[in-house]
Protein backbone atom coordinates (compact mmCIF):
# COMPACT_ATOMS: atom_id res chain seq x y z
CA UNK A 1 0.00 0.00 0.00
CA UNK A 2 1.45 3.38 -0.97
CA UNK A 3 2.22 6.00 1.66
CA UNK A 4 -0.48 8.27 0.27
CA UNK A 5 -3.02 5.47 0.47
CA UNK A 6 -1.97 4.70 4.02
CA UNK A 7 -2.30 8.38 4.94
CA UNK A 8 -5.79 8.57 3.48
CA UNK A 9 -6.83 5.34 5.19
CA UNK A 10 -5.50 6.58 8.52
CA UNK A 11 -7.52 9.79 8.29
CA UNK A 12 -10.62 7.90 7.26
CA UNK A 13 -10.54 4.98 9.71
CA UNK A 14 -8.29 5.55 12.75
CA UNK A 15 -9.55 7.28 15.89
CA UNK A 16 -6.26 8.55 17.33
CA UNK A 17 -5.58 8.84 21.08
CA UNK A 18 -4.41 12.19 22.44
CA UNK A 19 -4.99 13.91 19.09
CA UNK A 20 -6.96 16.93 17.88
CA UNK A 21 -9.17 14.93 15.56
CA UNK A 22 -10.26 17.92 13.49
CA UNK A 23 -6.66 19.04 12.96
CA UNK A 24 -5.64 15.49 12.12
CA UNK A 25 -7.89 15.41 9.09
CA UNK A 26 -5.90 18.28 7.63
CA UNK A 27 -2.46 17.33 8.94
CA UNK A 28 -2.50 13.56 8.58
CA UNK A 29 -0.23 11.08 10.36
CA UNK A 30 3.50 10.76 10.82
CA UNK A 31 4.14 7.12 9.91
CA UNK A 32 7.04 5.17 11.34
CA UNK A 33 7.89 2.35 8.96
CA UNK A 34 10.80 0.63 10.72
CA UNK A 35 13.10 0.98 13.70
CA UNK A 36 16.76 0.48 14.44
CA UNK A 37 18.43 1.14 17.77
CA UNK A 38 17.23 4.47 19.14
CA UNK A 39 15.86 5.56 15.72
CA UNK A 40 12.73 5.15 13.68
CA UNK A 41 12.43 5.77 9.94
CA UNK A 42 9.56 7.26 7.94
CA UNK A 43 8.23 6.19 4.55
CA UNK A 44 10.95 8.20 2.81
CA UNK A 45 13.74 6.53 4.80
CA UNK A 46 14.48 9.62 6.90
CA UNK A 47 15.79 8.76 10.37
CA UNK A 48 14.49 10.23 13.61
CA UNK A 49 16.04 9.89 17.03
CA UNK A 50 13.16 8.78 19.23
CA UNK A 51 13.80 11.16 22.11
CA UNK A 52 10.75 9.86 23.99
CA UNK A 53 11.37 6.12 23.52
CA UNK A 54 7.91 6.10 21.97
CA UNK A 55 5.77 6.87 25.01
CA UNK A 56 8.52 6.68 27.66
CA UNK A 57 8.63 2.94 27.04
CA UNK A 58 10.90 1.47 24.30
CA UNK A 59 13.78 1.10 26.73
CA UNK A 60 15.85 -1.24 24.56
CA UNK A 61 15.16 0.66 21.36
CA UNK A 62 13.39 -0.57 18.27
CA UNK A 63 15.37 -3.56 17.04
CA UNK A 64 16.32 -5.89 19.89
CA UNK A 65 16.43 -9.38 18.31
CA UNK A 66 16.36 -11.27 21.59
CA UNK A 67 12.87 -10.02 22.35
CA UNK A 68 11.60 -11.20 18.99
CA UNK A 69 13.23 -14.58 19.55
CA UNK A 70 11.72 -14.89 23.03
CA UNK A 71 8.27 -14.15 21.63
CA UNK A 72 8.64 -16.72 18.84
CA UNK A 73 9.87 -19.44 21.21
CA UNK A 74 6.83 -18.94 23.42
CA UNK A 75 4.56 -18.63 20.39
CA UNK A 76 5.63 -22.08 19.27
CA UNK A 77 5.34 -23.57 22.77
CA UNK A 78 2.12 -22.09 24.16
CA UNK A 79 0.72 -18.98 22.41
CA UNK A 80 -2.03 -18.36 24.96
CA UNK A 81 -3.26 -19.48 28.32
CA UNK A 82 -4.84 -17.62 31.22
CA UNK A 83 -4.56 -17.26 34.99
CA UNK A 84 -8.24 -17.55 35.96
CA UNK A 85 -9.60 -20.27 38.31
CA UNK A 86 -6.29 -21.77 39.48
CA UNK A 87 -4.83 -21.95 35.95
CA UNK A 88 -1.26 -20.85 35.25
CA UNK A 89 1.74 -21.17 32.96
CA UNK A 90 5.52 -21.06 33.28
CA UNK A 91 6.32 -17.55 31.92
CA UNK A 92 3.72 -15.93 34.19
CA UNK A 93 4.99 -17.77 37.26
CA UNK A 94 8.64 -16.99 36.55
CA UNK A 95 7.91 -13.32 35.82
CA UNK A 96 6.00 -12.90 39.08
CA UNK A 97 8.88 -14.50 40.98
CA UNK A 98 11.40 -12.26 39.25
CA UNK A 99 9.45 -9.09 40.01
CA UNK A 100 9.14 -9.99 43.68
CA UNK A 101 12.90 -10.58 43.77
CA UNK A 102 13.50 -7.18 42.13
CA UNK A 103 11.02 -5.20 44.22
CA UNK A 104 12.41 -2.12 46.01
CA UNK A 105 10.83 -3.25 49.28
CA UNK A 106 9.47 -6.64 50.39
CA UNK A 107 6.42 -7.53 48.30
CA UNK A 108 4.18 -10.57 48.39
CA UNK A 109 2.23 -11.20 45.19
CA UNK A 110 1.91 -9.89 41.61
CA UNK A 111 -1.23 -9.25 39.55
CA UNK A 112 -0.74 -8.87 35.80
CA UNK A 113 -2.57 -6.55 33.42
CA UNK A 114 -1.86 -5.08 29.99
CA UNK A 115 -1.14 -1.37 30.49
CA UNK A 116 -0.33 1.18 33.14
CA UNK A 117 -3.92 2.37 33.03
CA UNK A 118 -5.23 -1.13 33.74
CA UNK A 119 -2.67 -1.57 36.50
CA UNK A 120 -3.73 1.61 38.27
CA UNK A 121 -7.41 0.83 37.72
CA UNK A 122 -6.66 -2.47 39.46
CA UNK A 123 -5.01 -0.57 42.31
CA UNK A 124 -8.24 1.35 42.95
CA UNK A 125 -10.22 -1.91 43.06
CA UNK A 126 -7.70 -3.63 45.33
CA UNK A 127 -7.77 -0.71 47.79
CA UNK A 128 -11.56 -0.87 47.93
CA UNK A 129 -11.63 -4.67 48.17
CA UNK A 130 -9.03 -4.68 50.93
CA UNK A 131 -10.89 -2.24 53.15
CA UNK A 132 -14.23 -3.96 52.67
CA UNK A 133 -12.58 -7.23 53.67
CA UNK A 134 -11.15 -5.56 56.78
CA UNK A 135 -14.56 -4.22 57.80
CA UNK A 136 -13.67 -0.62 56.99
CA UNK A 137 -16.17 0.22 54.23
CA UNK A 138 -15.79 3.94 54.84
CA UNK A 139 -12.00 3.91 54.27
CA UNK A 140 -11.99 4.17 50.47
CA UNK A 141 -10.78 7.59 49.33
CA UNK A 142 -7.56 7.81 47.36
CA UNK A 143 -5.48 10.98 47.26
CA UNK A 144 -3.54 11.70 44.09
CA UNK A 145 -1.80 14.93 43.08
CA UNK A 146 -2.52 17.80 40.75
CA UNK A 147 -0.64 17.20 37.47
CA UNK A 148 -0.12 13.55 38.37
CA UNK A 149 -0.72 11.04 35.59
CA UNK A 150 -2.00 7.53 36.26
CA UNK A 151 -3.81 6.48 33.10
CA UNK A 152 -7.04 6.83 31.16
CA UNK A 153 -9.54 4.22 32.32
CA UNK A 154 -12.45 5.70 34.27
CA UNK A 155 -10.73 5.10 37.61
CA UNK A 156 -7.15 5.75 36.47
CA UNK A 157 -8.12 8.95 34.65
CA UNK A 158 -9.82 10.08 37.84
CA UNK A 159 -6.53 9.61 39.66
CA UNK A 160 -4.83 11.62 36.93
CA UNK A 161 -4.72 15.27 37.91
CA UNK A 162 -4.85 16.89 34.45
CA UNK A 163 -7.90 18.78 33.13
CA UNK A 164 -7.57 17.28 29.64
CA UNK A 165 -8.28 13.84 31.09
CA UNK A 166 -11.37 15.00 32.97
CA UNK A 167 -13.14 17.46 30.68
CA UNK A 168 -16.13 16.03 28.78
CA UNK A 169 -15.56 12.62 30.38
CA UNK A 170 -17.48 13.52 33.58
CA UNK A 171 -14.47 12.75 35.73
CA UNK A 172 -13.17 12.34 38.38
CA UNK A 173 -15.37 9.72 39.98
CA UNK A 174 -16.35 9.96 43.63
CA UNK A 175 -13.71 9.09 46.18
CA UNK A 176 -10.71 10.64 44.45
CA UNK A 177 -9.01 13.75 45.79
CA UNK A 178 -6.01 15.74 44.52
CA UNK A 179 -3.44 17.44 46.69
CA UNK A 180 -0.76 19.93 45.66
CA UNK A 181 1.80 19.32 42.91
CA UNK A 182 5.38 19.30 44.28
CA UNK A 183 6.83 21.48 41.50
CA UNK A 184 9.05 23.77 43.55
CA UNK A 185 10.27 25.94 40.67
CA UNK A 186 6.73 26.70 39.51
CA UNK A 187 4.73 26.69 42.76
CA UNK A 188 7.24 27.68 45.42
CA UNK A 189 6.20 30.90 47.14
CA UNK A 190 8.38 34.00 47.15
CA UNK A 191 11.19 33.57 49.65
CA UNK A 192 10.21 29.96 50.36
CA UNK A 193 13.15 27.55 50.57
CA UNK A 194 12.96 24.08 49.07
CA UNK A 195 12.74 22.60 52.57
CA UNK A 196 9.94 24.99 53.52
CA UNK A 197 8.12 24.11 50.30
CA UNK A 198 8.42 20.40 51.12
CA UNK A 199 7.12 21.04 54.63
CA UNK A 200 4.16 22.89 53.13
CA UNK A 201 3.39 20.02 50.74
CA UNK A 202 3.28 17.58 53.67
CA UNK A 203 1.20 19.99 55.75
CA UNK A 204 -1.32 20.49 52.93
CA UNK A 205 -1.66 16.73 52.54
CA UNK A 206 -2.28 16.34 56.27
CA UNK A 207 -4.84 19.15 56.21
CA UNK A 208 -6.69 17.37 53.39
CA UNK A 209 -6.66 14.07 55.26
CA UNK A 210 -8.03 15.71 58.40
CA UNK A 211 -10.69 17.58 56.43
CA UNK A 212 -11.81 14.39 54.69
CA UNK A 213 -11.56 12.32 57.86
CA UNK A 214 -8.60 9.94 58.34
CA UNK A 215 -10.97 6.99 58.66
CA UNK A 216 -12.18 7.66 55.10
CA UNK A 217 -8.78 7.94 53.37
CA UNK A 218 -7.28 4.65 52.21
CA UNK A 219 -4.33 5.41 49.94
CA UNK A 220 -2.04 7.99 48.41
CA UNK A 221 -0.70 7.42 44.87
CA UNK A 222 2.28 9.14 43.30
CA UNK A 223 4.80 8.79 40.50
CA UNK A 224 8.39 9.07 41.75
CA UNK A 225 8.87 11.63 38.94
CA UNK A 226 5.73 13.03 37.39
CA UNK A 227 5.76 12.17 33.68
CA UNK A 228 2.95 13.60 31.57
CA UNK A 229 2.40 16.33 34.16
CA UNK A 230 5.70 17.91 33.13
CA UNK A 231 8.58 15.71 34.34
CA UNK A 232 8.29 17.14 37.84
CA UNK A 233 11.16 15.97 40.04
CA UNK A 234 10.23 15.98 43.74
CA UNK A 235 12.11 18.42 45.97
CA UNK A 236 14.63 17.07 48.45
CA UNK A 237 13.03 15.15 51.30
CA UNK A 238 9.55 15.22 49.78
CA UNK A 239 8.62 11.55 49.91
CA UNK A 240 9.94 10.81 53.43
CA UNK A 241 7.85 13.70 54.76
CA UNK A 242 4.79 12.63 52.80
CA UNK A 243 5.14 9.05 54.01
CA UNK A 244 5.40 10.17 57.63
CA UNK A 245 1.95 11.72 57.25
CA UNK A 246 0.56 8.58 55.61
CA UNK A 247 1.93 6.34 58.35
CA UNK A 248 0.37 8.57 61.01
CA UNK A 249 -3.10 7.95 59.58
CA UNK A 250 -2.71 4.33 58.35
CA UNK A 251 -2.84 5.25 54.67
CA UNK A 252 -1.29 3.05 51.98
CA UNK A 253 1.56 4.37 49.83
CA UNK A 254 1.09 3.47 46.16
CA UNK A 255 4.08 4.01 43.86
CA UNK A 256 3.19 4.43 40.20
CA UNK A 257 6.41 3.18 38.59
CA UNK A 258 4.92 2.94 35.09
CA UNK A 259 7.50 5.42 33.70
CA UNK A 260 10.27 5.34 36.30
CA UNK A 261 10.43 1.57 36.78
CA UNK A 262 13.28 -0.47 35.25
CA UNK A 263 16.11 1.99 35.14
CA UNK A 264 14.78 5.32 33.92
CA UNK A 265 16.25 7.19 36.91
CA UNK A 266 19.51 5.19 36.95
CA UNK A 267 18.27 2.69 39.50
CA UNK A 268 15.90 -0.22 39.05
CA UNK A 269 13.05 1.76 40.60
CA UNK A 270 12.25 5.40 41.11
CA UNK A 271 11.25 4.34 44.62
CA UNK A 272 14.92 3.61 45.29
CA UNK A 273 15.99 6.96 43.88
CA UNK A 274 13.57 8.93 46.06
CA UNK A 275 13.31 6.76 49.20
CA UNK A 276 9.74 5.58 48.67
CA UNK A 277 8.48 2.58 50.67
CA UNK A 278 5.38 1.47 48.76
CA UNK A 279 2.68 -0.89 49.97
CA UNK A 280 1.51 -1.28 46.37
CA UNK A 281 3.58 -0.73 43.22
CA UNK A 282 2.35 -0.54 39.63
CA UNK A 283 4.67 -0.94 36.65
CA UNK A 284 4.42 -1.32 32.86
CA UNK A 285 6.16 0.24 29.82
CA UNK A 286 9.83 -0.84 30.20
CA UNK A 287 8.72 -4.15 31.73
CA UNK A 288 8.75 -5.53 28.17
CA UNK A 289 10.56 -2.60 26.54
CA UNK A 290 7.05 -1.98 25.10
CA UNK A 291 7.49 -4.83 22.62
CA UNK A 292 4.27 -6.41 23.91
CA UNK A 293 1.58 -5.03 26.22
CA UNK A 294 2.04 -6.07 29.84
CA UNK A 295 1.85 -4.42 33.25
CA UNK A 296 1.94 -5.55 36.84
CA UNK A 297 0.73 -4.60 40.31
CA UNK A 298 2.80 -5.76 43.27
CA UNK A 299 1.24 -5.81 46.73
CA UNK A 300 2.84 -6.37 50.10
CA UNK A 301 1.84 -9.11 52.53
CA UNK A 302 -0.56 -6.90 54.47
CA UNK A 303 -2.53 -6.02 51.35
CA UNK A 304 -2.42 -9.59 50.03
CA UNK A 305 -3.72 -11.07 53.28
CA UNK A 306 -6.70 -8.71 53.26
CA UNK A 307 -7.50 -9.50 49.61
CA UNK A 308 -7.14 -13.22 50.33
CA UNK A 309 -9.55 -12.88 53.25
CA UNK A 310 -12.11 -11.15 51.06
CA UNK A 311 -11.82 -13.75 48.31
CA UNK A 312 -12.36 -16.58 50.81
CA UNK A 313 -15.49 -14.93 52.14
CA UNK A 314 -16.95 -14.14 48.71
CA UNK A 315 -15.69 -17.21 46.89
CA UNK A 316 -13.24 -15.57 44.47
CA UNK A 317 -11.28 -12.41 43.82
CA UNK A 318 -13.63 -11.21 41.10
CA UNK A 319 -11.17 -9.24 39.03
CA UNK A 320 -8.95 -10.11 36.08
CA UNK A 321 -8.32 -9.69 32.37
CA UNK A 322 -8.35 -12.29 29.61
CA UNK A 323 -4.76 -11.36 28.85
CA UNK A 324 -3.49 -11.04 32.43
CA UNK A 325 0.03 -12.46 32.33
CA UNK A 326 -0.28 -13.43 28.66
CA UNK A 327 2.43 -16.07 28.16
CA UNK A 328 4.08 -14.42 25.15
CA UNK A 329 4.11 -11.00 26.81
CA UNK A 330 5.45 -12.56 30.01
CA UNK A 331 8.19 -14.37 28.09
CA UNK A 332 9.24 -11.13 26.41
CA UNK A 333 9.22 -9.35 29.78
CA UNK A 334 11.43 -12.05 31.29
CA UNK A 335 13.90 -11.66 28.43
CA UNK A 336 13.81 -7.88 28.84
CA UNK A 337 14.70 -8.16 32.52
CA UNK A 338 17.49 -10.62 31.66
CA UNK A 339 18.95 -8.13 29.17
CA UNK A 340 18.85 -5.35 31.76
CA UNK A 341 20.92 -7.51 34.08
CA UNK A 342 23.35 -8.94 31.55
CA UNK A 343 24.11 -5.60 29.90
CA UNK A 344 23.98 -3.65 33.18
CA UNK A 345 21.49 -1.23 31.64
CA UNK A 346 20.67 0.51 34.92
CA UNK A 347 24.36 1.27 35.50
CA UNK A 348 24.59 2.48 31.92
CA UNK A 349 21.78 4.97 32.59
CA UNK A 350 23.56 6.15 35.71
CA UNK A 351 26.72 6.67 33.65
CA UNK A 352 25.26 8.47 30.60
CA UNK A 353 22.40 10.23 32.35
CA UNK A 354 24.60 13.08 33.61
CA UNK A 355 25.55 13.87 30.00
CA UNK A 356 21.92 14.46 29.07
CA UNK A 357 21.18 16.32 32.29
CA UNK A 358 24.20 18.62 31.79
CA UNK A 359 23.10 19.39 28.22
CA UNK A 360 19.61 20.28 29.43
CA UNK A 361 20.89 22.50 32.22
CA UNK A 362 23.24 24.33 29.87
CA UNK A 363 20.11 25.52 28.09
CA UNK A 364 18.90 27.37 31.19
CA UNK A 365 20.88 30.33 29.86
CA UNK A 366 18.72 30.33 26.71
CA UNK A 367 16.15 33.17 26.61
CA UNK A 368 13.20 30.78 26.18
CA UNK A 369 14.17 28.27 28.88
CA UNK A 370 12.93 28.99 32.37
CA UNK A 371 13.80 25.69 34.00
CA UNK A 372 15.67 22.50 33.13
CA UNK A 373 15.14 19.44 35.26
CA UNK A 374 15.43 15.68 35.38
CA UNK A 375 17.51 12.75 36.52
CA UNK A 376 18.95 9.76 34.70
CA UNK A 377 17.42 9.56 31.24
CA UNK A 378 14.27 11.57 31.89
CA UNK A 379 14.22 15.35 31.71
CA UNK A 380 12.36 18.43 30.59
CA UNK A 381 12.70 22.07 29.63
CA UNK A 382 10.00 24.53 30.68
CA UNK A 383 9.75 27.38 28.17
CA UNK A 384 8.70 30.83 29.35
CA UNK A 385 8.09 34.31 27.99
CA UNK A 386 9.78 36.02 30.95
CA UNK A 387 12.62 34.14 32.65
CA UNK A 388 13.00 36.55 35.56
CA UNK A 389 9.35 36.29 36.60
CA UNK A 390 8.61 32.78 35.28
CA UNK A 391 5.80 34.14 33.13
CA UNK A 392 4.52 31.50 30.71
CA UNK A 393 3.78 32.11 27.06
CA UNK A 394 0.23 32.70 25.91
CA UNK A 395 -1.05 29.12 25.41
CA UNK A 396 -2.49 30.17 22.05
CA UNK A 397 1.07 30.53 20.72
CA UNK A 398 1.80 26.85 21.32
CA UNK A 399 5.52 27.55 21.74
CA UNK A 400 6.30 24.11 23.13
CA UNK A 401 4.40 22.49 20.27
CA UNK A 402 6.31 24.68 17.80
CA UNK A 403 9.64 23.52 19.20
CA UNK A 404 8.60 19.87 19.08
CA UNK A 405 7.35 20.23 15.49
CA UNK A 406 10.59 21.88 14.44
CA UNK A 407 12.57 19.17 16.24
CA UNK A 408 10.73 16.59 14.17
CA UNK A 409 11.80 18.46 11.04
CA UNK A 410 15.36 18.12 12.35
CA UNK A 411 14.93 14.38 12.86
CA UNK A 412 14.12 14.27 16.58
CA UNK A 413 10.86 13.12 18.13
CA UNK A 414 10.00 14.73 21.48
CA UNK A 415 6.80 15.54 23.36
CA UNK A 416 5.24 18.86 24.28
CA UNK A 417 3.05 19.05 27.36
CA UNK A 418 0.79 21.71 28.86
CA UNK A 419 2.72 24.74 30.03
CA UNK A 420 5.14 24.63 27.08
CA UNK A 421 7.15 21.84 28.66
CA UNK A 422 9.30 19.76 26.32
CA UNK A 423 10.09 16.26 27.59
CA UNK A 424 13.06 13.99 26.91
CA UNK A 425 13.00 10.26 27.64
CA UNK A 426 15.19 8.41 25.12
CA UNK A 427 15.73 4.64 25.03
CA UNK A 428 17.93 3.47 27.88
CA UNK A 429 20.49 2.12 25.40
CA UNK A 430 21.36 5.58 24.10
CA UNK A 431 25.09 6.37 24.08
CA UNK A 432 26.86 9.61 24.99
CA UNK A 433 27.55 10.37 21.32
CA UNK A 434 23.87 9.79 20.50
CA UNK A 435 22.87 12.10 23.34
CA UNK A 436 25.11 14.77 21.83
CA UNK A 437 23.50 14.24 18.43
CA UNK A 438 20.03 14.39 19.98
CA UNK A 439 20.80 17.67 21.69
CA UNK A 440 22.39 19.14 18.54
CA UNK A 441 19.19 18.43 16.63
CA UNK A 442 17.17 19.94 19.45
CA UNK A 443 19.32 23.07 19.65
CA UNK A 444 18.79 23.71 15.93
CA UNK A 445 15.04 23.42 16.44
CA UNK A 446 15.07 25.71 19.48
CA UNK A 447 17.13 28.32 17.61
CA UNK A 448 14.71 28.27 14.67
CA UNK A 449 11.68 28.83 16.88
CA UNK A 450 13.48 31.55 18.83
CA UNK A 451 14.21 33.36 15.56
CA UNK A 452 10.59 33.05 14.45
CA UNK A 453 9.42 34.57 17.75
CA UNK A 454 11.94 37.39 17.33
CA UNK A 455 13.40 36.74 20.77
CA UNK A 456 16.94 38.13 21.18
CA UNK A 457 19.57 35.53 21.96
Per-residue pLDDT reduced to its tens digit, 344-369? 999 999 999 999 999 999 999 999 99
Assess whether 376 and 332 both reside in one domain: no
Domain boundary among 325, 342, 359: 342
Based on the fold, state whether residues 320 and 350 are members of the same structural domain.
no
DSSP string covering 130-155: HHHHTT-TT--EEEEETT----SSHH
Q: Which of 324, 342, 360 is the last residue before a domain boundary?
A: 342
In a shared domain, residues 269 and 387: no
Is residue 361 domain-resident? yes
pTM: 0.96
Q: 336 and 396 share a domain?
A: no
- In this structure, are 160 and 295 located in the same domain? yes
The torsion defined by the Cα of 340, 273, 181 and 239, in degrees rounded to 10, comes to 140
Q: Could you tell me if 122 and 250 lie in one domain?
A: yes
Residues 238 and 383 in one domain: no
What CATH number does residue 435 fall under?
A: 3.90.1150.10
Q: What is the percentage of the chain residues whose pLDDT exceeds 70?
A: 99
pLDDT in tens, 366-388: 999 999 999 999 999 999 999 99
91 is a domain residue: yes
130 and 146 both lie in a single domain: yes
Q: Are residues 83 and 53 in the same domain?
A: no
Sheet holding 369-375, edge to edge: 369-375, 378-383, 421-424, 415-417
Query: Quick one: average pLDDT of 123-142?
Result: 98
DSSP characters over 272-323: HHTT---SEEEE-GGGTTTSS--EEEEE-HHHHHHHHHHHHHHSS-----TT
Note whether 367 and 430 are same-domain residues.
yes
Task: Report whether 446 contacts 363 (CB < 8 A).
Answer: yes
Q: Evaluate whether 178 touches 161 at the Cβ level (below 8 Å).
A: yes
In this prediction, residue 455 has a pLDDT band, given cuts at 50, 70 and 90, of low
- Closest CA relative to residue 224, chosen from 195, 266, 186: 266
Could you read off the pLDDT of 378-418 as tens digits, one per residue?
A: 999 999 999 999 999 999 999 999 999 999 999 999 999 99
166 domain residue, yes or no: yes
Q: What is the mean pLDDT of residues 304-314?
A: 98
Backbone angles phi, psi at 91, to 5 degrees: -60, -40
Say yes or no to pLDDT of 422 above 80.
yes
How, if at all, do strands 378-383 and 421-424 pair? antiparallel
Asked if pLDDT for residue 456 goes beyond 80, the answer is no
Mind listing the pLDDT tens digit for each residue in 10-47?
A: 999 999 999 999 999 999 999 999 999 999 999 999 99
**Residue 21 included in any domain:** no
Q: What's the total number of domains in the chain?
A: 2
* pLDDT band with cut points at 50, 70 and 90 for residue 65: very high
- Domain check: are 58 and 87 in the same one? no
- Cα 395 to Cα 136: distance, rounded to the nearest angstrom: 45
Kindly report the CATH number assigned to the domain that includes residue 97.
Answer: 3.40.640.10
Residue 20 counted as domain residue: no
**Has residue 13 been placed in a domain?**
no
Interval 203-247: pLDDT, tens: 999 999 999 999 999 999 999 999 999 999 999 999 999 999 999
Q: Which residues, including other chains, have CB under 8 Å from residue 318's CB and lie 6 or more apart?
A: none
* Mean of pLDDT over the chain: 97
Q: Are residues 76 and 193 in the same domain?
A: yes
Domain that holds residue 200: 67-342
Residue at which a domain ends, from 296, 314, 342: 342
pLDDT, position 4: 84
pLDDT for position 175? 98
End-to-end CA distance of the chain: 46
Do residues 162 and 228 touch, judged by C-beta distance below 8 A? yes
Where residue 457 falls among pLDDT bands split at 50, 70, 90? low
Q: Examine residue 379 and state whether it is found in any structural domain, yes or no.
A: yes
**Within a domain: 239:** yes
Compute the average pLDDT of residues 46-56: 98
Amino acid sequence: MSSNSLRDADIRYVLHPYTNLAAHEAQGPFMAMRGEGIRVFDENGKDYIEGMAGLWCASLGFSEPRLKEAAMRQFDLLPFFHQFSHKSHEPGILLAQKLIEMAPVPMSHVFFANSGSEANDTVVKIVRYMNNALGRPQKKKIISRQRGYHGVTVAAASLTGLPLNHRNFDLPIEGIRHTSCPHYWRYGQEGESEQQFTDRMAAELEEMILAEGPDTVAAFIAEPIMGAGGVVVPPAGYFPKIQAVLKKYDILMVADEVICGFGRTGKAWGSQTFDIQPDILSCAKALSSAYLPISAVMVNERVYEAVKKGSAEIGAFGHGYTYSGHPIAAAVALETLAIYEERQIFDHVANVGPTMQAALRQLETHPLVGNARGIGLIGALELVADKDHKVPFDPALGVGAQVVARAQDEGLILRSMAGDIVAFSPPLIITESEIEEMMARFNRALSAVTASLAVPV
